[in-house]
């Protein structure tokens, strides 16, 4: 297996991100700049919201009604929230006598509940403390050959005798990753950690709620042969011109995979703000047709790459609202 990690400020993290839901927006009155409705949010699903108050130096205050069972992790002009229970919540971001209001409708269904599909759940994904034990469970495995691996500085790791669950803590860092495989399927979950010793100039956050990734393939020929390169950018802008997407590229048995896990952004908004980016590549793909998978927004999207001997790469990719690939043929 050839695994290439994209190190972005800390180290690469993979796949957890956050499904785009239907949203509606209405203009507010007085000091309420807007009211937006987010439908079909799941219990414990991380939701990244933002509020541009026009002054990057002042702290934004985030409040919820009701307050019970809501977890808030703030980063710059953003806040990640997750909700323990179903219901309707009002989230207000306020600063400088201005505010924004979000109406969040949480379904009676748990995030990462994959019904009859292979899936992994975590007891907490946002705002975990260092050394806090997080319980992970795997569902609908195809074989008993289950393996658990961690990325980041894991502390206690206790795996059940049937390997269907694990208790894991992290002793340092801003994020930690747990990956579960059953020889046929593989999924990863990222945990965002409260770490007072982390770099204060940058924040690690999930993708903005409703963001879409734009992947541009190209081909570079060098002394090692032909390299298929993927330049990926977010649709939304975050906090600065150096913001980076956290990503991972893997090649296992000629099956090619890109996984995207969030953004490392400036802690304080900068004057020059661009979309977040990352670059991944695969070297010397032989002629043939191969599975091509993209992990994003807690979903797995599958297409193919066809390579002909002259070095032309063609993607068979179904258009969707989460990941765009263009052009579909490069050489």
Q: Does one domain contain both 80 and 137?
A: no
4 in a structural domain: no
pLDDT computed for residue 9 by the predictor: 28
Q: So what's the pLDDT on residue 112? A: 63
Residue 53 confidence (pLDDT): 61
pLDDT at 56: 57
**Number of DSSP helices (H) and strands (E) in the chain, helices first:** 0, 26
Cα gap 271→237, rounded to integer Å = 12
Same domain as 286, residue 271: yes
- Rounded to 5 degrees, φ, ψ at 80 are -100, 130
Render pLDDT for 92-148 as a digit per residue (tens, 0 to 9). Answer: 999 888 899 999 999 998 876 555 678 888 888 777 889 999 999 998 888 878 999
Examine residue 205 and state whether it is found in any structural domain, yes or no.
no
Please indicate, yes or no, if residue 1 is contained in any of the structural domains: no
Indicate whether 166 and 93 sit together in one domain. no
- 208 occurs within a structural domain: no
Regions in the chain scoring below 70 on pLDDT: 1-30, 53-58, 112-116, 298
Q: Residue 178 domain-assigned? A: yes
The answer to whether position 2 is within a domain reads no
Both 168 and 217 in one domain: the answer is no
72, 90, 110: which is the final residue of a domain? 110
Structure pTM?
A: 0.70
Q: What CA–CA distance (Å, rounded) separates 154 from 187? A: 18
pLDDT on residue 55: 55
Using H for helix, E for strand and C for coil, what is the string for 135-148? EEEEECCCCCCCEE
> Residue 25: its pLDDT value, please?
47
Residue 193 pLDDT: 83
My answer on whether 106 and 117 are in the same domain is: no
CATH number where 58 lies: 2.60.40.1080
For position 67, what pLDDT does the model report?
A: 92
CA angle 258, 263, 267 (to 5 degrees): 165
Q: Of 75, 110, 145, which marks where a domain is finished?
A: 110
Q: Are residues 86 and 144 in the same domain?
A: no
Domain span at residue 169?
A: 112-199
What total number of domains does the chain contain?
3
> Residue 169's domain is classified under what CATH number?
2.60.40.10
Strand partners, 265: 203
Residues 217 and 172 in one domain: no
Out of 87, 110, 133, a domain closes at: 110
> Distance (Å, rounded) from C-alpha 210 to C-alpha 102?
14
144: exposed, middle or buried (Cβ count in 10 Å: 0-12, 13-18, 19+): exposed
């Amino acid at each position: 297996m050839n695994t290439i990690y994209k190190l972005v400020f800390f180290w690469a993290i993979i796949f957890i991100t956050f499904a785009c839901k239907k949203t509606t927006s209405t203009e507010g009155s007085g000091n309420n700049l807007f009211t937006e409705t987010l439908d079909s949010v799941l219990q414990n699903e991380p939701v990244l919201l933002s509020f541009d108050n026009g002054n990057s130096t002042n702290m934004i205050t985030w409040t919820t009604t009701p307050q019970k069972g809501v977890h808030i992790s703030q980063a710059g002009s953003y806040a990640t929230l997750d909700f323990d229970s179903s219901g309707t919540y009002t989230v207000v971001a306020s600063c400088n006598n201005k505010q924004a209001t979000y109406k969040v409708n949480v379904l009676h269904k748990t995030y990462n509940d994959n019904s009859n599909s292979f899936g992994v759940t975590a007891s907490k994904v946002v705002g975990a403390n260092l050394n806090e034990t997080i319980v992970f469970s795997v569902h609908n495995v195809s074989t008993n050959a289950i393996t658990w691996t961690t990325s980041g500085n894991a502390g206690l790791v206790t795996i059940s005798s049937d390997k269907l669950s694990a208790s894991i803590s992290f002793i340092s860092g801003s994020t930690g990753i747990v990956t579960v495989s059953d020889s046929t399927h593989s999924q990863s979950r990222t945990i965002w950690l409260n770490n007072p010793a982390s770099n204060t100039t940058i924040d690690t956050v999930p993708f903005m709620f409703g963001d879409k990734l734009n992947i541009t393939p190209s081909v570079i020929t060098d002394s090692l042969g032909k390299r298929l390169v993927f330049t990926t950018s977010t649709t939304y802008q975050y906090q600065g011109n150096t913001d980076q997407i956290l990503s991972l590229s893997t090649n296992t048995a000629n099956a090619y995979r890109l996984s995207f896990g969030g953004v490392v952004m400036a802690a304080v908004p900068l004057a020059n703000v661009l979309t977040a980016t990352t670059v991944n590549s695969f070297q010397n793909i032989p002629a043939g047709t191969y599975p091509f998978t993209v992990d994003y927004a807690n979903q797995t999207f599958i297409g193919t790459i066809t390579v002909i001997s002259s070095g032309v790469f063609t993607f068979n990719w179904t258009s969707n609202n989460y990941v765009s690939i263009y052009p579909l043929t490069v050489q």
